[in-house]
Amino acid sequence: MNNLINLARHIPSPKAALTVAYTPVRLPMEGRAPLELRITAPAIGESLPILLLSHGFGPSSYLPSKDGYAPLAQFWAERGFVVIQPTHASSRIGGLSVDAVGAPFFWRERVAELRVIVDLIVEVERQAPAIYGRLDHARIAAAGHSFGGHTVGLLLGARLNGEDFSDSRISAGVLLAAPGRGGKDLTADNAARFPFFDVDFSGLTTRSLVVCGDADDPHFTTRGPEWHADAFHDGQGSDALVTLHGVGHGLGGIAGLDARETDIEAPEVLEATKRLTLAWLQTALAVDDHAWSKACAALQGSAASLATVTHRACGSSERQKSTDAT
């Protein structure tokens, strides 16, 4: 029950169920400290789909780690997903040394960290006895926010300097306020500072959902909020673009309301973000074939002011009917 939510209630979602959590789960990585994870999972159920959640770089010292993004992680786990959150090498808390190769962004190491979770998923289960034997290793998705979207995008097939980082074991992905095209699309200073943003999204063939805020005006480029939608327009595998109304980079509060990462607190839009991403994941991983269509239908009715969905159709994009934000 949330007294701040009214319109988003019209987007259908399963009721919350009891969860269990394990932290820190530690996985060995060659030549460095172990990778630490948080696992949040349904307390009951079998053949549970797996969702890797990659954090952004973030302005705060604490939240960009395995312990951030509780609004998303808890919501998804309460409704049937085993959510695995790493503390990436780039995290100020628990990350690698600022003197290590690849610092401070560690973009390549971050990709390796998500891959090692999949490699050692049986070891993850062993360290979390309540979920042992209950995971469906054939149903793995990944979601990433901001710089985490860059990380996940590479695993979904986006290429950098022609290099392919894709992992076929990840069958679906959600890009939340992810960086757009680099190179000439960035300001000169940012193009020099972030050469790893110069990705080619045409290789992004894994089924994906792109989520943006229409008030998310990035400082990397002069193109404005639409920059964050590049993966949808260029990625062959992108199903749909969700444009959330009236929110910025924090998408209403996915890092947590009152968190430093949350530029605009918008409980209604945050709830829509949670429900829409869940519905898409349920359909993409064959948990509920009709969840996404039902969620989209709600955006044509009572919840229309919260978001707009643009679907890809016949190699182009086709906008669903929706009213403007109020």
Q: Which domains, and CATH codes, for the chain?
A: 7-319 (3.40.50.1820)
Helix/strand/coil (H, E, C) string of the chain? CCCCCCHHHHCCCCCCCCEEEEEEEEECCCCCCCEEEEEEEECCCCCEEEEEEECCCCCCCCCCCCCCCHHHHHHHHHCCCEEEEECCCCCCCCCCCCCCCCCCCCHHHHHHHHHHHHHCHHHHHHHCHHHCCCEEEEEEEEEEECHHHHHHHHHHCCEECCEECCCCCCCEEEEECCCCCCHHHCCHHHHHHCHHHCEEHHHCCCCEEEEEECCCCCCCCCCCHHHHHHHHHHCCCEEEEEEECCCCCCCCCCCCCCCCCCCCCCHHHHHHHHHHHHHHHHHHCCCCCCHHHHHHHHCCCCCCCCEEEEEEECCEEEECCCCCCC
* Structure confidence at residue 59 (pLDDT): 85
* Structure confidence at residue 325 (pLDDT): 33
- pLDDT, one tens digit per residue, over 73-118 is 999 999 999 999 999 999 998 999 999 999 999 999 999 999 999 9
Q: Is the dihedral of CA 10, 14, 18, 20 positive or negative?
A: negative
Say if residue 314's pLDDT is above 70: no
- pLDDT, one tens digit per residue, over 213-254 is 999 999 999 999 999 999 999 999 999 999 999 999 999 999
CA–CA gap between residue 201 and residue 203 (Å, rounded): 5
Give the mean model confidence (pLDDT) for residues 273-286.
Answer: 98
Say if residue 318's pLDDT is above 70: no
Whether residue 35 contacts residue 27, with contact meaning beta carbons closer than 8 Å, is answered with yes
* Structure confidence at residue 62 (pLDDT): 78
- pLDDT, one tens digit per residue, over 177-215 is 999 999 999 999 999 999 999 999 999 999 999 999 999
CA–CA gap between residue 78 and residue 271 (Å, rounded): 14
Confidence label for 319 from pLDDT (cuts 50, 70 and 90): very low
* Structure confidence at residue 258 (pLDDT): 84
Question: Which of the pair, 319 or 139, is modelled with greater confidence?
Answer: 139
Confidence label for 267 from pLDDT (cuts 50, 70 and 90): very high
* Structure confidence at residue 254 (pLDDT): 97
Q: Which residues of 272-305 are buried (b: 16+ CB within 10 A; e: fewer)?
A: bbbbbbbbbbbbbbebbeebbeebbebbeeebbb
* Structure confidence at residue 323 (pLDDT): 34
HSE on the CB side for 113, CA within 13 Å?
31
Q: pLDDT exceeding 70 applies to what percent of the chain?
A: 96
Confidence label for 270 from pLDDT (cuts 50, 70 and 90): very high
